[in-house]
Each structure stands twice: as C-alpha cells, then as structure tokens.
Structure 1
C-alpha cells in the first residue's frame, strides 16, 4: 500500500484555488458521456460535482496566510496484489478510503479529539496509471531510447538538407532498436506516459487545510510533527503523526479485507530498509520458509534481481546487502512494490 501526502503547489500568484488540481483530476473523464464519468465522494455522499469541490475547498481558507497551502492532496495507491485481492472493486476502494480518512483524523495531535466529522475532504477514484521516468521499465529502456532519438534527429537533418544519408537505412535501424528494447507492452517499447497494464485503480483525495468550521488549522505537513508548544502561557498540542497514520491505514486494509500481507509489503519493512538495512535482511532471513519464498517472488516481480535469499547471516555479505537494498529502494520509489 503506497500512501503519499503532498501540500498544495502554489504558483507565483498564491491565489490558492483548488481549480487547477481538480481540473487535473478530471483527465479520465475527458471525452466520456456524463453517465460514465467518475464523480467525487466524501464520508457521506457519492457523485459530487467537480464545481462543488472547488467551491467548498476554496471557501474554507479563513486565517490562512497568503503563502500557506490551502489544501493537501493524498494518494491512496494499492498494489496490484492488493487490488487483485479485492477484485479491483471500486465500491470496496471507496469504503476503504472512508476508513482511511477516519485514521487520518485520528492522527492529529490536538488538545481535543479530531474526528472525520472535522475534516473537509473530497476523493476521486482513478482506474489508470501511466509509466514515468522513475519506473524501472523506462529506465532500463533508456539506452535504446537515446539511440533512437539520435537516429530520429539524423533523419530530420537529412530531410532538412543539413546532412546527407539514407533515410530508409536509418529507419530500419530505428525499428530494430524499438524491437530490441528490453521492456515492451503490446509490441511497443515502454515509454513515459504509456498506460500500465493490469489493475491500476487508486484514489486521489483533496483535503482542506482548515477544519469544517473554517476555524482550526489541520496541517499534515511533515514539519508539523507531534509536539507541544506554549501559546499565551498555555501548553498546546500540535502536529500530525504520519508514522501512526501509515501504519494504521495498512492495518485497516488488512483487517477490512482479510488480507495476509507479506513482510516486504509492510510499512515496517520499508522503515527498516531505510534506517537499518542489516535488521531488514535479518528479519527477511527469519521468516518462515514459505513466507521467505513469497517475499522472494514479490521482489522478483518488482524487477529486483535476487538469485537466492541467503539461508544464514554469514552469507549476507555487506556488499551484496547494499546492492539488494539499492534495488529494493528503486522498486519502492517507482511503486513496483505496494509498500
């Protein structure tokens, strides 16, 4: 399960409207008949119109400074394995999102309890994801892409009279390189912007910085960690516990859908890999045989070259461990493993 929290990207004018972001989320609705378009939903309602989302988020900005973000965006992106487990069911994803927002509210550190009733948010289901420059397939196709681009430039130069050469031969070389690229989809070289295969459903959520009463600021920003400060001579609780939120969101999915999560899919594993690789691999070695084999298969599917998982700690050489860590890190970055 991959969940990301991002602050509103403010431009030079700092007007803070949610319109640009909502327009971006409407990309899958373009060209569809109204009855086939995906609407927004919140904790109580479905099929909410985009204009209402913009109006309510934009109107809920009291007390915020000109250069402060007016909203945050969350992406809830299950792995293909998780999506397969729930049959890629859109209604189950909506139900899960509502539970995630309960967890989101409970992760604020305040003097009074924050509940989902305090949160102004709208969510939208999307069914497609596209390849980006971060994806392993695109990176490993890059050598061929560079040669193809160079040949295409030569073809253009010949057409414009700036060079001499045989265009037909250059195009033949381009076709050979296209076919030799290591990663293909439906007979074509995988490039950025190409739609990914398989289940790709995910949820985008836009959350107001202010609570529903437009009175209290609720920022999940990374610099607002759980802490206490003195305000007007009184101790005040503030912050948002991201670690608690991510762990609880993962646990919610597992309990809600009876999902058996492998070690390498867990948020705990990702933390260990980042902070203490030795403990990560020790934990991997300590898994029961069937779970260790399942972990190896998940890593292999993510494009991580693991010929064998060492059977004892003595075989776990430092150099090999760091190479494996680098490969897993790249897979996590591109979303290949749903942690």
Structure 2
C-alpha cells in the first residue's frame, strides 16, 4: 500500500480554485459515454459530479490566506498483490476508502467543540482511476535513459545523413538502434519502457481531495501540520494540535488487511519500508529472521517495486557491510519516491 498526502500547489502561491486538479482527475473520463464514466464519491454518496466537487471545495475556504492550501490530495495505490485480493474492484475500493477516511480523522490530535473529530467533520471527495503511466522518476525509466539517449542520437544522425548534412551509413545506424532497443534492461510487451508509457496489469488507485477546512468551514484541519501530536497553551487553555502520519499509514494497512483478509508480507509494511531507508541494518536483520517462504516473497516484492538488491543474500548479520547500506539507501530513496510511498 503506497499512500501520499500532498498539499494543493499551483506555482508560487495557492490557487483559489480546485478546478485544475479536479479537471486532471477527470482525464480517464475523456471520450467516454456518461454511463461509462467514473464519478466522484464521498462517505455517503456515489454519483457526484466534478462540478459539485469544485463548488464544495472552493466554497469551503473561509479565512484561509493565499499562502495556505485550500485542500490536500491523498493518493492511495494498492499493490498488485493487494488488488488481487479484491473480488469487486470498484466497490471494494470505495468501501476501503470510506474506512480509510475514518482512520484519517482519528489521526488528528484535534477536537471540535470539546469532542474528537469524526468522519462528518471533514469534507472530502474521492475518485478511482485504473491507469498509470511511467514517470521520469521511475527506476525503469531512469535505468533505460542511457539507452534512450544513444537511440535519440542515432536517430538524429540518420536525419542528418538523409538530408545530406552528415556522412554515414543509415542501415548500420538502424541496425544499432535495433540492437540497443533489444538490450534495454526494462521492457514491457517487447517495447522499451519510456516516460509516459501506460503500465500494464491492474493499476487501480484512489485519488482523494480533502478540504483544508472542516465541514462547518470554521476550523482548519491540516494533515501537513509540522506538529505530530502535542498540546499547546492558547489563551490560557490547553489546545490539542497535530496530525500523526505514521499512525495514519499504519492504520491504513491494518484496515485493508482486516477488511479483505489480507496477509501482509514483512516487505509490504510501512514500518519495514521506513526502516529500509533510515536503518537498513535493522531492516535486513529482521528480514533474515523470516521463515523461508516469507523471506522469498519479500525479496520478490522488493524486486518488483524496483528496489535495488544486494549482490548476494547475506547469511549472517555480520555480512551486512555499511558500504552496501549506503549504496542501498541511495537507490531505495529513489525507488520509494518513484513508488509514491508517503513517509
């Protein structure tokens, strides 16, 4: 499960409207008949139009400054293993989203009128998408780039030869291009993976747009708060503040597992991925203690995610050299970011 929480951002300041973002989320509906379109939904309704989402989000921004986001975007990307556990893709993802947003509100260390925040205190809209494309930050695209650069240069040379500004053999250069295309490390359906290429297989994921202000348009609820959970003295009163992202991500996993009876492998857990970046020694020590089958699946999952692997699987903790850790950390940070793991 890969989850990110990002603030609305348009250039140097925050736009007063959510129209551009909502329009972006409508991209998969382009060219479809009305009955085939994927509508927005929230905690209680399934058929919500883009126009209503824009109107409700834009109208819920009382007293926000230009330097403050009007809304936050939450992207939820189940892995292919998790998606494989769903029986009814769309309905199951909607069900999970509604449970997930309950976890979201309980991760706030805030109160409204002396009571904990509830699901009815937030204004959110969600949309399911079924397609993904490769980004420039994806490991596959980055590792293919040297080949792409050479191919581009060869194609440029061919054009120059054909228009007479350069001497050379077009046939030889085309043969070289064919060879490079074949040797490119990351391919899909026999073609070199490039930025913008649609990813094959099940790619269903959820986009959620949640208002910065509560449903009453009176209180600010920011999951981007720099405060995790704390109390502060304000006007002589103790006031709760903060949002616990770690708690939210961990709850999100447990909710999915409980809802769909999913057995989560060690390598799929938020805590494990976090340790992988911050303390790979602890990560690999825990990995090597797993039962053989669990360990094999963990390495398979890591490989599918584009996580760079060690040249050989260590047998003892003493073999986990720090110089390998440093190289792993650099590679893993790229893999984690390209997979949109929000930590």
Deviations along 1:147-175, one digit per CA (max 9) or x if unpaired, are 01112222344455543444444333323
Aligned partner of 2:74 in structure 1 is: 74
The answer as to whether partners of 1:300 and 1:306 remain within 8 angstroms in 2 is: no
In 1, are the aligned partners of 2:77 and 2:205 still within 8 Å (CA)? yes
Query: Closer, same or farther in 2 for the Cα pair 1:179/1:308, shift >3 Å?
Result: closer
1:150 to 149, 153, 174: 153
Q: Please give the residue correspondences for 1:89-238 in structure 2 after superposition, counting only pairs within 5 Å.
A: 89-111=89-111, 112-159=115-162, 162-238=165-241
Residues of 1 paired with 2:41 and 2:240: CA distance? 31
CA RMSD after TM alignment: 2.2
CA contact (8 A) 1:302 1:336 kept: no
Deviations 1:183-232 (A, max 9, x none): 22222211001011111100000000001111100011142432222322
Counterpart for residue 49 of structure 1: 49
Q: Is the deviation greater in 315-324 or in 32-41? A: 315-324
| Match in the other structure for 1:293 | 296
Superposition deviation, residue 139 in structure 1:
1.6
User: 1:121 Cα shift?
Assistant: 0.4
Q: CA deviation at 1:13?
A: 6.7
Counterpart selection for 1:311 from 309, 312, 315: 315
Please say which of residues 298-307 and 310-319 is displaced more in the overlay: 298-307
C-alpha displacement at 1:307, in angstroms? 5.4
Gaps of 5+ in 2: none
In the aligned structure 1, how far is the partner of 2:182 from the partner of 2:316? 42
Match of 1:85, SS state, is coil
Aligned residues: 339
Structure 1 residues 97-150: Cα deviation after superposition (integer angstroms, max 9, x where no partner): 101100101111113300110010000000011111122211221111000111
Q: Which residue of 1 aligns with 2:83?
A: 83
In structure 2, what is the Cα distance between the partners aligned to 1:78 and 1:320? Answer: 30
1:26-47: per-residue Cα shift (whole Å, max 9, x none)? 1111111111110000000102
Higher deviation after alignment, 118-127 or 280-289: 280-289
DSSP-derived class of the 1:41 partner: coil
Alpha-carbon distance change, 306 to 297 in structure 1, aligned in 2, over 3 angstroms:
farther
Unaligned runs of 5+ residues in structure 1 are none
Q: Which moved more, 1:32-41 or 1:168-177?
A: 168-177
TM-score norm. by structure 1 comes to 0.93
1:248 match: 251
Q: Is this contact kept in 1: 2:3–2:341, CA < 8 A?
A: no
For residues 260-279 of structure 1, what are the structure 2 equivalents within 5 Å? 260-279=263-282
Residue 339 of structure 2 corresponds to 335
**TM-score in terms of structure 2 length:** 0.91
Distance across 2 between alignment mates of 1:130 and 1:34: 24
Q: Secondary structure at the match of 1:64?
A: coil
Kindly tell me: are residues 87 and 166 of structure 1, through their superposed partners in 2, closer, same or farther at Cα, counting changes over 3 Å? farther
Asked if the contact 1:8–1:69 (Cα under 8 Å) also holds between the matched residues in 2, the reply is yes
Deviation at 1:324, TM superposition (A): 4.0
Moved more, 91-100 or 269-278: 269-278
